[in-house]
Amino acid sequence: MRTIDWDSKKNNIIMIDQTLLPGEYKIIECDTIGSLCEAIKSLRVRGAPALGAAGGFGVALAAYRSNAPTLDVLIDEVAKAGKTIISTRPTAVNLSWGVKRVIRAIEDANNIKEVRVFSLDEAKAIADEDVEKNRELGRYGAALLDDGDTVMTHCNAGRLACVDWGTALGVIRSAREEGKDIKVISCETRPLNQGSRITAWELMEDKIPVTLITDSMSGHVMRKGMVDKVIVGADRITQDAVFNKIGTYTHSVIAKEHGIPFYIAAPVSTFDFEHYEDDIEIELRKPEELMYFGKHQIAPLDVKVYNPAFDATPMENVTAVITENGVFYPPFLIDEVRI
């Protein structure tokens, strides 16, 4: 199934629980805004484009679950639910983009039934478009890859970070579909290991050759000539920087040092050219993520911990941004991207 979807029989959100992978493949359902927010915060659903769909479906869920007696009360409740959903993860712009897009779609609703229908239609459109856009983005990105390339990636910008297909991994899937022999090096992505748990798993499911390394090995493999290109996703692209999983910036510096192209693959919905790097809040996560590995304690419990989920890579370290509207080489203007 898709990473996230709508169960039309129960009018609930269903999703693959990504915290259980690769050990267990389990579909869970969210039937309240509270359970959806818990799923987003604990990364059961994660990855910028998947969060866009989660935000959209979340607004529809709020409309379906509400017992509001009038249209005005319902609109008010849905708006409040939207704000609660947005507050769960501040850095990935797609989450607020998805919520706001569906809230805009209900502005013309004349009654409670229309709020439900319009919100669900728009949320489903976000999900369907995500798959189409990733396919288009994949085709543009595939043209940048040569037969025989080894691509290094960080975190998971694959089908599980999106509704389907993927951004960075979508480019690799598209290139392989064109018959190019592409191999992948996946960084494990501490502390929550999206690279080893999810990227390695989904590539192996598709029989795409993947080698797992620790994040700190990226300098070694790039210096040894084992990496032809780096492709990562993005959680937000401001005028001057690309926000992505913590560790991305380090890889960009090493890639620059060794003259290795460093590509970002992201849909246009990830662009936030109204802001600059310093305006953006980087999500800080719980110290326990560094103190425990699963249930195993790996640090003194009273140690001071700094655990930002994302970092910012300055645009000068980025070779190009691959989108569904084409490949853009910095510096570029947002009007060129949003054709």
Determine if 167 is a binding residue for ligand MRU (CB under 6 A): yes
Determine if 218 is a binding residue for ligand MRU (CB under 6 A): no
Most distant CA pair in the chain: distance in Å?
66
Q: Which of 47, 82, 247, 261 binds ligand MRU (CB under 6 A)?
A: 47
| Nearest approach, Cβ of residue 17 and ligand MRU (Å) | 14
Determine if 280 is a binding residue for ligand MRU (CB under 6 A): no
What binding mask, one character per residue, do residues 176-195 give for ligand MRU by CB under 6 A, x or -?
A: ------------------x-
Q: Which of 28, 43, 284, 290 binds ligand MRU (CB under 6 A)?
A: 43
- Is residue 243 within 8 A of residue 236, CB to CB? The reply is yes
Determine if 309 is a binding residue for ligand MRU (CB under 6 A): yes
Determine if 125 is a binding residue for ligand MRU (CB under 6 A): no
| Nearest approach, Cβ of residue 208 and ligand MRU (Å) | 16
What binding mask, one character per residue, do residues 82-111 give for ligand MRU by CB under 6 A, x or -?
A: ----------x-------------------
Determine if 46 is a binding residue for ligand MRU (CB under 6 A): yes
Determine if 162 is a binding residue for ligand MRU (CB under 6 A): yes
Burial class of residue 36 in the structure, from the number of CB atoms within 10 Å of its CB (0-12 exposed, 13-18 middle, 19+ buried)? buried
What binding mask, one character per residue, do residues 225-264 give for ligand MRU by CB under 6 A, x or -?
A: -------xxxx--------xx-------------------
Stretch that binds ligand MRU, among 74-82, 107-115, 156-164, 201-209 (CB under 6 A): 156-164
**If we measure between CA atoms, which residue out of 280, 205, 193 comes closest to residue 239?**
280
- Is residue 65 within 8 A of residue 31, CB to CB? The reply is yes
| Nearest approach, Cβ of residue 221 and ligand MRU (Å) | 19
List C-alpha distances in Å: 78 to 81, 87, 257: 5, 14, 49
Give exposure, 199-236, as e/b (b: 16+ Cβ within 10 Å): bbbbbeeeebebebbebebbbebbeeeebbbbbbbbbb
> What is the spatial distance between Cα 324 and Cα 121, in angstroms, rounded to a whole number?
22
Which residue is at the shortest CB distance from ligand MRU?
Answer: 233
- Is residue 63 within 8 A of residue 119, CB to CB? The reply is yes
Known catalytic membership, residue 147: no
Nearer to ligand MRU, 145 or 265 (CB): 265
| Nearest approach, Cβ of residue 225 and ligand MRU (Å) | 25
Q: Which of 21, 155, 237, 320 binds ligand MRU (CB under 6 A)?
A: 155
Q: Tell me, letter by letter, the H, E, C secondary structure of 162-188.
A: CCCCCCHHHHHHHHHHCCCCCEEEEEC
| Nearest approach, Cβ of residue 92 and ligand MRU (Å) | 6
Nearer to ligand MRU, 239 or 270 (CB): 270
Question: With contacts defined by CB under 6 A, how many residues of the chain interact with ligand MRU?
Answer: 19
**If we measure between CA atoms, which residue out of 174, 176, 196 comes closest to residue 187?**
196
| Nearest approach, Cβ of residue 111 and ligand MRU (Å) | 36
Catalytic-labelled residue, pool 5, 130, 149, 235: 235
> What is the spatial distance between Cα 264 and Cα 137, in angstroms, rounded to a whole number?
11
Q: Which residues bind ligand MRU (CB under 6 A)?
A: 43, 46-49, 92, 155, 157, 161-162, 167, 194, 232-235, 244-245, 309
Name the residues annotated as catalytic.
235
